[in-house]
Structure 1
Amino acid sequence: MFKARAEGADCMITCGGIQSNHARAAAVLCRRVGWHPVLILGGTDPGAGYQGNLLLDKLLDAEIRWVDDHDLFHNSGALIAETAEAMRKKGYTPYVMPMGGTDTVGLNGYIAAGLEIREQEKQMHTSFDAVFCAVGTGGTLGGLILFKELIDWKVRLYGVNVMLDAKYFRERIDSLVRDYIAEHRLTLPHHTDLIQMVDGFVGPGYAKTTPEGVELIKRIARLEGIFLDPVYTGKAFQGMIKMIEDGGFAQKSNILFLHTGGIFGLFAQAEDLFPGVKPSK
């Protein structure tokens, strides 16, 4: 935000999937500071029946540009650059934010989150053996890894990829961390083996779930009153449970699951959660 204001921005451009939590949060931020939000979303305009984050995007009157999913995930940088140029021609001064807010600036958010976790450990007189999170663009895990390296935090960090594969995210996160270290001129040893990915829970693809994923979401809601979503946290929780069941941790290990939101997107998945049940009018 400081950087965007320093550049005199009056418009923010970012991108994500049709139910992107990040895109919705960016649009909210824009409206709170009086900027024009522009969202590049993967998919096609449903035309009616807006649900979840997309409904909120529409309530915020965000300018939405629809693109093919494949183009979004493989050419997001070029799409954002093209949109920024178009907005400049309209008289705006755009600030561009990458998908998921994941760049060397965005990593600071989860470095700060790591600090908050450490402070809570002290307040609770405990320590965590492991932390699990969902990985959709790599910023969450990347920031936590940087924090771990900065203070030599004695915890194991695991990311569960919700799309693509573990190899892709190991390379992406490694590049992000190295860029951050170089940009800030840190004399910090970076160990690639700290990037521990848990693969195998993508299911049919991004924002698509499985019957096992649906049952887990229902079970956690009934047992704990905690809502997971099929896009991010549901897959990450599934990966964590499987690793525990497979004996990946000693008994009485203290494991933290980092819930990164997604409840609004849950409303768009009603048909997957309860097939055949039509919403009441």
Structure 2
Amino acid sequence: MNEIRYHRRTYTMGPTPIQKLERLSEALGGPSIWIKRDDLLGLTAGGNKTRKLEYLVSDAIRQGADTLITCGAVQSNHCRLTLAAAVREGLRCQLVLSKPELGEHDPLASGNHLLFHLMGVEKIELVPADADLQVAMENLSQAAEKEGRKPYIIPLGGSNQIGSLGYMACADEIEQQAMADGTPFDFVVTGTGSGGTQAGLVAGFLARQSNTKVIGINVSGTREGKETQVRDLLYRTAALTGLQGKIPDDAVRCDDQYVGAGYAIPTEEMVEAVKLVARTEGILLDPVYTGKAMAGLIGKIRKGELTREDRVLFLHTGGTPALYTAPQLFLSHQ
């Protein structure tokens, strides 16, 4: 058995809360909806990457690393949280950031970009939107090694079999909370980008022999491509943890109907979803991940794909700093 699954840093004290969204459920007239507040996880400004980093940073420390290197978009939540973990552990952090597909990069931008500098990022390598991020990270790693340092590369979104352990643990946490409250869930809905959150949740529910199904709402890519990506990561996570038994063919479900024109490109459905949740529950979503994921949940309810009898848990994966980078999306809509 691979012992890596038992090595973990702790960045959050206790489980994140689950709360029922009474007013949103009423407004939609569909299933009963709850929300898992992983936006309240314990690194700077919260978010789902914290759970992955508990395992990834533990692995880095065990290997003697002194520098974390990772990548993402210019407003990457994952990069913000990796940097926050590095600060917490006394490590250095270097970031590879890809320029936006549309528009220009603003070097004075707010949101996560501001937080990178506030927390003292050592280096930012800005690359074109179509650049190979892995190659760029390896170049930074080689340069650090020449300086006598020991870098540790964390993949995009923290999504490998080690990072996915964080959401296997989250699935277990959800099951324990559901049992304590007497509220088993039929579905968990989450935004799916790099795939580690969904793969970890599916692996965790399979390990518990739970009947809860995971629905991934794509924030990028096609349904077929994303399902292949998540399934591959699920198999690797299962191999790492010794998960026994056959993985059902329908274990991975992704929906690409709410991506719009592409990653981080706003949609009308996203704007509606962010405003509806803010005005019914006082909870902030973000325009890149949770806004589109909630748009998917709302769409599925309106299409009758989720019924009044279903019990649905929405996973809030954080990302709200990005909300403040695009006020025009919400100020121009009443």
Q: Is this a same-fold pair by TM over 0.5? A: yes
> Which runs of 5 or more structure 1 residues have no equivalent in the other structure?
277-281
CA distance in structure 1 between the aligned counterparts of 2:240 and 2:68, rounded to whole angstroms: 23
**What is the identity, as a one-letter code, of the residue corresponding to 2:168?**
I
The answer as to whether partners of 1:233 and 1:260 remain within 8 angstroms in 2 is: yes
| Alignment partner of 1:65 is 2:125 | yes
Q: Which has more helix, going by share of residues?
A: 1
Tell me by how many angstroms 1:50 deviates: 2.2
| Alignment partner of 1:220 is 2:277 | yes
Answer 1 or 2: higher relative contact order, Cα 8 Å, separation at least 6: 2
| Alignment partner of 1:52 is 2:108 | no
Q: 1:214–1:8: structure 2 CA closer, same or farther, 3 Å change rule?
A: same
CA distance in structure 2 between the aligned counterparts of 1:141 and 1:193, rounded to whole angstroms: 13
Q: 1:185-196 alignment to 2 at 5 Å?
A: 185-196=242-253
CA distance in structure 1 between the aligned counterparts of 2:126 and 2:249, rounded to whole angstroms: 36
Q: 1:177–1:212: structure 2 CA closer, same or farther, 3 Å change rule?
A: closer
Which residue of structure 1 lines up, in the alignment, with residue 65 of structure 2? Answer: 9
SS state at 2:260 partner: coil
Identity %: 34
**What is the identity, as a one-letter code, of the residue corresponding to 2:60?**
A
Specify which of 197, 201, 205 is matched with residue 144 of structure 1.
201
| Alignment partner of 1:178 is 2:235 | yes
Tell me by how many angstroms 1:105 deviates: 0.2
The answer as to whether partners of 1:217 and 1:227 remain within 8 angstroms in 2 is: yes
CA distance in structure 1 between the aligned counterparts of 2:169 and 2:144, rounded to whole angstroms: 32
SS state at 2:328 partner: helix
Which residue of structure 1 lines up, in the alignment, with residue 164 of structure 2? Answer: 107
CA distance in structure 1 between the aligned counterparts of 2:273 and 2:192, rounded to whole angstroms: 19
CA distance in structure 1 between the aligned counterparts of 2:69 and 2:140, rounded to whole angstroms: 8
Which residue of structure 2 lines up, in the alignment, with residue 76 of structure 1? Answer: 133
| Alignment partner of 1:26 is 2:82 | yes
Q: TM-score, normalised by structure 2?
A: 0.78
SS state at 1:14 partner: strand
Higher mean C-alpha deviation, range 48-57 or range 112-121: 48-57
| Alignment partner of 1:198 is 2:258 | no
| Cα-to-partner distance string for 1:178-232 (whole Å, 9 max, x where unaligned) | 1222334443312231111121111121111123321221121111101111100
The answer as to whether partners of 2:161 and 2:233 remain within 8 angstroms in 1 is: yes
Q: TM-score, normalised by structure 1?
A: 0.92
Which residue of structure 2 lines up, in the alignment, with residue 119 of structure 1? Answer: 176
Higher mean C-alpha deviation, range 34-43 or range 212-221: 212-221
CA distance in structure 1 between the aligned counterparts of 2:105 and 2:212, rounded to whole angstroms: 44
CA distance in structure 2 between the aligned counterparts of 1:157 and 1:187, rounded to whole angstroms: 19
Higher mean C-alpha deviation, range 9-18 or range 79-88: 79-88
Specify which of 273, 276, 279 is matched with residue 330 of structure 2.
273
CA distance in structure 2 between the aligned counterparts of 1:246 and 1:156, rounded to whole angstroms: 18
Which residue of structure 2 lines up, in the alignment, with residue 240 of structure 1? Answer: 297
**What is the identity, as a one-letter code, of the residue corresponding to 2:201?**
L
Tell me by how many angstroms 1:246 deviates: 1.0
The answer as to whether partners of 2:200 and 2:237 remain within 8 angstroms in 1 is: no
Specify which of 208, 211, 231 is matched with residue 268 of structure 2.
211
Higher mean C-alpha deviation, range 177-186 or range 199-208: 177-186
Specify which of 250, 253, 270 is matched with residue 307 of structure 2.
250
**What is the identity, as a one-letter code, of the residue corresponding to 1:9?**
A
| Aligned Cα root-mean-square deviation (Å) | 1.7
**What is the identity, as a one-letter code, of the residue corresponding to 1:68?**
P
CA distance in structure 1 between the aligned counterparts of 2:313 and 2:238, rounded to whole angstroms: 26
The answer as to whether partners of 2:70 and 2:95 remain within 8 angstroms in 1 is: yes
| Alignment partner of 1:38 is 2:94 | yes
> Which runs of 5 or more structure 2 residues have no equivalent in the other structure?
1-56
Q: 1:249–1:210: structure 2 CA closer, same or farther, 3 Å change rule?
A: closer
SS state at 1:69 partner: coil
Which residue of structure 2 lines up, in the alignment, with residue 89 of structure 1? Answer: 146
**What is the identity, as a one-letter code, of the residue corresponding to 1:221?**
A
Count of residues paired in the alignment: 273
CA distance in structure 2 between the aligned counterparts of 1:115 and 1:184, rounded to whole angstroms: 14
Which residue of structure 1 lines up, in the alignment, with residue 212 of structure 2? Answer: 155
The answer as to whether partners of 2:273 and 2:298 remain within 8 angstroms in 1 is: no
**What is the identity, as a one-letter code, of the residue corresponding to 1:17?**
A
Q: 1:186–1:252: structure 2 CA closer, same or farther, 3 Å change rule?
A: closer
